[in-house]
Structure formats: structure tokens, C-alpha cells
Structure 1
Amino acid sequence: MVGERRAARACGGGGGVMAPCDGIIVGLHLRWNGVYQRPQHVLSRLAREHPVVVLEEPLFASGPSRFDVEEPVANVTVIRPVVDADGPFLASKIAPGALAVVARHAAARGIESPALWLYTPMMTALADAFPESPVIYDCMDDLASFAFAPLEMRERERKLLERADVVFCGGPSLYHARAEHGLKVHCVPSGVEFRRLAAARTAAPVEPLELLEGHIFGYVGVIDERIDYAIVRRLACVPGAHVVMVGPVAKIDPRALPQAANIHYAGQVEYGELARWMAGFDVAMMPFANNASTRSISPTKLLEYFAAGRPVVTTPIRDVVERYGGLVTQARTPEEFVRACVEARPDPRRGEAASAVARLQSWDAIVGTMERAILDATAPAIVAERAGA
């Protein structure tokens, strides 16, 4: 009943799906200016109707602590706490003083009755600071399974799942592991900006790729513990081929990455340039390892590859195999992966089917699904509140 009253107060009524909720406060474990993925796509669309204030986890650096604030897109304020790495150990994912900074920027945006939108269970103190607000948990990854995850994260997520008014899961595996928490849990996989990525079909590749001769096996995304580097090494042994890894390196020592004259690490690139990078790929690959951090992933990049019209070779990731097995080539071992990449050719029928799948999963449609789920969750409480008024 407490959750129902809280939801009715903050998210019911006319004037919009989430009105009279007058803004959204977000706890984000990623960097807004990092890889452009689910949070940026979702929140920038929600910001068309509601001001959004995003608090990132602390960034540790030498020097005095501070809060960097930016407006990367219209109606979105991002607060990035920069914490002195040489100062006292900080176990919390919310920097000292951050809640006051959030409150100040929320007030400046005219936010009085916010919804709390969390991407990590390690930032529930945000919800504690706004106890009358509904809590929405967008679970895009099983963060407790990732390298260097806090030991208490699994228990914190359990409590957040009990507390949240609405839960979104970014793929079937994430959903099935959390569905026991009831009808408030929804499977809402990520989407794609089809037209933007489909430009790869006709665009000229970026200059670094135009200079390469031979087949290009390309990957786009974070380069971390989820990659099977034995596959990368074996691909580099293909005569005349190049392996291009586009994205930032995280949670691993860059010096430990496979090195060869035909392995190219492009680093993070602008989201608007992704299509031109993919335009140079002969094969788009997902060389994921089989480990705890990949058992529940539902990669956003797959739909981007489909939109770009690239043949896709992947290791057997469960969500990919179950939903799109007929549209990708699966390979279990490094040897199988290399063979699949070498033999991959454009398949018009498979390509058309993959394009059709991608077209149906736009980010606008995904956010619309989320808004309807929030309305469905809060509408009964709204009726009850008004009946008792």
C-alpha cells in the first residue's frame, strides 16, 4: 500500500503518461559521455516531456573533489562527482554531498514530485532522499556478476526489486531471474535507431578502415572481461585479414590485450560515427566469452549490426540464440569462430529478415512500452486515491 500511495502521488493523472510527476531523477553507474547505449537512448526520449537529472557514480581522480555538471542533450542535466582518489576510501556509489547537489539542480529544473529511475542497486540512497517518489529500476545488466562488483550488490538488488514500483529488464535472461517479484517486472529489450545505423549500407567507411586491405572483422562495444581474447588472437592469424575493435577498454589492463599488426583498437568513437565504422566491416562480430558476466547479457549492438546490414558471427549467447538464432552464425570455439568469419558472406534473405526485426524495435517504441507499463502500474492506485478523496 505504501508503494501504491507513493506511485499515485507522483505518477498519476492527466497531462502525460507520468504526470503529475514533474521530472525524473536518475542513478547511473555508467558515464553519459561513454558508450552511447540504453540509458542515453531512454532518458533523452523521456526528457522530451520531463526534465531529467542524472547522478553518475563517483569518478576518482587526483585533486580536490568537485561536481562537474553538463547538459549533454536538451532537458537533461548530468552531475558527475569527481572524488579525490588520494582521499579516504569511499565505499558508497554516491559521493559525499551529491544528494544536496541533486536536490539543487532538481529544484532549478522545477522538479518537485520526481520519479526515481535507477540503473544500479548501489544508488538506492537517491530513493531514500525522495521517500514519496515512485522507484523505477531499469535492469540492463546483471551487475553483480561483473568483474569487481561490490560484494553486497546482489543483496542490494534483492531489496531494490522488492522496493521498486516498476522493474524493466533488458533481456529475457534478466527477466526470468527476476520475474518472481511479480507483475511489476517487465521484459523490455533494448532497441535501435534503425535509420541512423542503416546508413552503413551506403556510407563510405571512416578513413582508418578505407586504408586497410583485406577482410575486416569488426566489433563495436566495451572491451572488457566479457570478450574472449583467444578468439581475437586466432582471428589475427587469418592471412590478409584485420581485426578492428571499436570501443573503450574497461576493467582490464590494456597491456594485456592481444597485440598484432592487424589488430586495431580504435578506442571510443562518437555515436554519430558508428555507421561509418560499421560500413567498413565485412563481418560484425560478438566474440563473447562464456563466463558469469555474459550469462545474462542481451547485447544492444546486435540490432545495430542488423540495421547496418552486416553478417553477424557470435558465440552462443543465450538471449541471442533464443531470439535471433536463425539470423546469426554461431560458433563455440575460437577455431569455429574463425571459420565462420572467413566463410561469412552477405545473405539477402537473412539480411532482409534481420532488417525487419530491427525496424520493429525502435527506441521510440521501447520508451513507449516503458511509459505504458508505468501507467498500468500506477493507474489502480490513482483510482483508489481519488475514490478516497
Structure 2
Amino acid sequence: MNIICFSSTRWDFLFQRPQQLTTLFSENFRVGYINPPSVVSEIPPSNIIFEKFVKTVNPNLIVFAPPRLRTMTVSRVREHFTGLIREFIKRFGLENPLLWINLPEAGYMCGNLGERLVVYDCLDDYSSFSWTPEYTTTADRTLARKADIVLVVSEPLYASKSRENSNCFLIPNACDFEHFSRSFEQGLTAPDDIKRLGRPRIGFIGAIYEWVDLDLVSHLAREEPGWSIVLVGPKHRSVNIPNLSNIHWLGRRPYNTLPNYLQEFDVCIIPFKNSETALNSSPIKLYEYLASGKPIVSTPIPEVIKFGRLVERASDKNLFLEKVRLLLTEPEDEKDRRCRFQLSVARVNTWESRYRSLKELVKK
């Protein structure tokens, strides 16, 4: 089986669900991973395109970043991309593919590539993003109805998408357990930029976008000036990191070093706003935190609530502060029980387990 994945995430950006699953699929199938378009000043000849904009990850996994001009109209972009993807499929032997789409705007490709099946892997409530144009919201609904299979990451998304397509399945996010459980072993080298920060360290790993409650983060920093609040991840250009001396934004860090940072946290946090984006989400960081054995405090979003007392939850900033304080003084016997429970839960919520479910699903 051949697979073409139209991804909303660049291959070399945050290594998350699209890259994790396509990497696993490439162990048994040939996969073409299509990055979001690259804007260029001039479209080169096709032979140059398929040299300059193609990257081989492994013999079965090829990444393509199709170029486009900023001035292209929507109809011209679609015509241009369809031609490029058809040529990409032909050049790299990916005929009769399964289309795996998590970029709603790529839904127009359905029916144009000789595909055998269309899977819409819906990762978010796209209509809740402040920057989402109307055509993306429309494309999301259209693709949900058109796809042979719809996958969603959370129960609220399932409630929404199953009304649009009866062949809808809940496949939550997960973690690379072997990678992130290395944090629990406490034998990793501490990165220099976190090693210099005082303890306790209250840590967050992930994208810092509009759904992250930075007012809550500021509250923790102001109430406990002796804490180091550590934020690891890229931020959206519209987000301003609070200017407090004990809030340390380290920026995006390579995926292979994230366990090193997690090892250095004393408490992990998921400070999400009470927003539609957050309520429909399935935070990958939750599973990565679980695999690290570190204690976790989160705001009460549905995909966190289902883990019960394994994750401390707080619906307001003062309770959130108290929960973090409580975990910093956790007795050793309780800590040991919690760690063992966390690891057992993380061990069955892996990308490999999700892949096995998906492989059976698309074979039916």
C-alpha cells in the first residue's frame, strides 16, 4: 500500500502526530509526506523542484514541500499543486495511494489522485483558531463529509465529526514511550540553558499559542518568585511572553533533547485556557509528561479529566498554584506509587499502539 499524507505540520517542525504515524507506516508501506506549501519568488523547472524540494527520510518515506508563488490565485494554486502531486506520485512510485489528510485545505485533492481511500485525520477544532479563514472552516466540514474514514483526537471532536460522517473513530494522541521514559531514568545530561536555572522548576513543553493561559503562568511566577517557570517550545508571533524575571522562555528545542529538559522539571504543567481550542484538544505533552514520571497539573480539559487523579486539575489560578505547591512536597511513598502508575498508563498509550489500531482500520 502507498500513502500520501497532506500534513498541516512541516516535517522539520514539532515532531508530533503526523510525523510519528507516517514514520511508523513507512516501516511497512511507501509514504509521501506533503509539507504545507513553500512560498518562493519563482517556480523552478520540475526537475529542479523534485531535487530541491524533496527530502528522503528513509527508503520508504519521502518528504515533499511543493513550492508556490505568493501571488497565485486559489484556483491557480489548486491546479498547480494537483499537477505537482501527480508528478510526485509518478516519479516516486506512489500510485493508487491512500490519502491521509490532516490539512483541511488539501481536501480538493480527493478524486484527483487515483486514490483508493481517503482518511481525514482531524487534529483540532480549526474553526476555533482566531486566524482561521472561513474557507478553512468550510474545507474542514466538506472533507469530513467526503472522507471514507474520519479520525479525531478527542471526545468533543468525536461528538462533532460523527454527526458529519458515521465512519468516525476516536484515536487520541499518544507518546513515544521509549524516548520520553528516558527522563524517568535520571541519567541524561542536563542542557546548559536549564541547568543554570534555580529550583524548583515548573515546566511546560509545547507550542505557545493563543490557547496557553499566560495570565495563569504569570500568577504562578508572581506568587512564587523563587520558582523557575520554564517554557520550552516555539511561540506564535501574536503571543507575548510575560516579562517576569523567573519566567524563562527557552524557545524551540530539538525533539531528541526534550527528555533532557523533562528530566530537569520538578512539576509539569498544562495551563490551557477555557477555550474551544483547548476543550477539543488532545495534548501530546500530557502523554509525554506521563512517560517521564513527573507530577502534572492541568486545567480541566476533557482529555485530561478522563485520566482521573493521575493528573491534578485546577479550574482557577489560585487552585492551580496550590496544586503545584502540593506536588512539590509530595511524600516519597506517594511519589513512587504515582510514578509507577503514570508509567503503566503511558506504556499503553504509545504511537505504536495507535498505529496498530489504524493499520487494522484502513485494511478493512
Question: TM over 0.5, yes or no?
Answer: yes
Question: Where in structure 2 are the equivalents of 1:70-89 lying within 5 Å?
Answer: 70-84=55-69, 87-88=70-71
Give unmatched runs, 5+ long, in structure 1.
1-20, 377-389
| Aligned pair partner of 1:358 in 346, 354, 362 | 346
| Aligned pair partner of 1:222 in 175, 197, 207 | 207
Aligned to 2:284: 300
Structure 1 residue 79 displacement after superposition: 1.8
The CA distance in 1 between the partners of 2:296 and 2:78, in whole Å, is: 41
The CA distance in 2 between the partners of 1:308 and 1:291, in whole Å, is: 27
The CA distance in 2 between the partners of 1:160 and 1:129, in whole Å, is: 14
Pick closer, same or farther for the CA change 1:57–1:366 going to 2, 3 Å.
Answer: same
| Aligned pair partner of 1:241 in 206, 211, 227 | 227
Aligned to 2:252: 268
The CA distance in 1 between the partners of 2:244 and 2:76, in whole Å, is: 38
Identity %: 27
Give the letter aligned to residue 235 of structure 2: V
Does the 8 Å CA contact 2:22/2:33 hold for their aligned counterparts?
no
Aligned to 1:110: 93
Aligned to 2:9: 30
Structure 1 residue 73 displacement after superposition: 4.2
| Aligned pair partner of 2:42 in 41, 58, 64 | 64
| Aligned pair partner of 1:122 in 105, 109, 121 | 105
Aligned to 1:370: 358
The CA distance in 2 between the partners of 1:282 and 1:228, in whole Å, is: 20
Do structure 1's residue 154 and structure 2's residue 132 form an aligned pair? no
SS of equivalent to 2:258 = helix
| Deviations, residues 174-216 of structure 1 (Å, cap 9, x unaligned) | 1122223455211111221112101112123222211112211
The CA distance in 1 between the partners of 2:73 and 2:215, in whole Å, is: 36
| Deviations, residues 211-260 of structure 1 (Å, cap 9, x unaligned) | 1122111111111001011012112221211111111112x435x22122
Structure 1 residue 65 displacement after superposition: 4.8
Does the 8 Å CA contact 1:241/1:262 hold for their aligned counterparts?
yes
Aligned to 2:170: 187
Aligned to 1:315: 299
Pick closer, same or farther for the CA change 1:258–1:95 going to 2, 3 Å.
Answer: farther
Does the 8 Å CA contact 2:144/2:165 hold for their aligned counterparts?
no
Structure 1 residue 92 displacement after superposition: 7.3
Does the 8 Å CA contact 1:92/1:122 hold for their aligned counterparts?
no
| Deviations, residues 118-145 of structure 1 (Å, cap 9, x unaligned) | 0022111222322553101111211221
Do structure 1's residue 52 and structure 2's residue 40 form an aligned pair? no
Aligned pairs, number = 349
The CA distance in 2 between the partners of 1:365 and 1:280, in whole Å, is: 28
Does the 8 Å CA contact 2:119/2:147 hold for their aligned counterparts?
yes
C-alpha RMSD of matched pairs (Å):
2.1
Aligned to 1:379: none
SS of equivalent to 2:111 = helix
| Deviations, residues 53-105 of structure 1 (Å, cap 9, x unaligned) | 122222446x4356522223442222223444xx4265579666222222222
Give every structure 1 segment of 4 or more consecutive aligned residues whose post-TM-superposition deviation is greater than 6 Å.
none
SS of equivalent to 1:35 = coil
TM, length-normalised to structure 2: 0.89
Aligned to 1:382: none
The CA distance in 2 between the partners of 1:243 and 1:91, in whole Å, is: 43
SS of equivalent to 1:77 = strand
Does the 8 Å CA contact 1:57/1:93 hold for their aligned counterparts?
no
The CA distance in 2 between the partners of 1:28 and 1:132, in whole Å, is: 17
Pick closer, same or farther for the CA change 1:90–1:182 going to 2, 3 Å.
Answer: closer
Structure 1 window deviating more from structure 2 (159-168 vs 278-287): it is 159-168
Pick closer, same or farther for the CA change 1:89–1:182 going to 2, 3 Å.
Answer: closer
TM, length-normalised to structure 1: 0.84
Pick closer, same or farther for the CA change 1:93–1:231 going to 2, 3 Å.
Answer: farther
Do structure 1's residue 144 and structure 2's residue 127 form an aligned pair? yes
Give the letter aligned to residue 241 of structure 2: L
Aligned to 1:259: 243
Aligned to 2:190: 205
Structure 1 residue 373 displacement after superposition: 1.2
Structure 1 residue 24 displacement after superposition: 0.9
The CA distance in 2 between the partners of 1:169 and 1:70, in whole Å, is: 28
Aligned to 1:165: 148
The CA distance in 2 between the partners of 1:93 and 1:29, in whole Å, is: 20
SS of equivalent to 2:297 = strand
Aligned to 1:99: 82
Do structure 1's residue 333 and structure 2's residue 321 form an aligned pair? no
Pick closer, same or farther for the CA change 1:340–1:93 going to 2, 3 Å.
Answer: farther
Pick closer, same or farther for the CA change 1:245–1:114 going to 2, 3 Å.
Answer: same
Pick closer, same or farther for the CA change 1:279–1:65 going to 2, 3 Å.
Answer: farther
**Per chain length, whose mean CA-contact separation is higher, i.e. which structure has more relative contact order (CA < 8 Å, sep 6+)?**
1
Structure 1 residue 48 displacement after superposition: 1.2
Does the 8 Å CA contact 1:53/1:102 hold for their aligned counterparts?
no
Pick closer, same or farther for the CA change 1:324–1:99 going to 2, 3 Å.
Answer: same
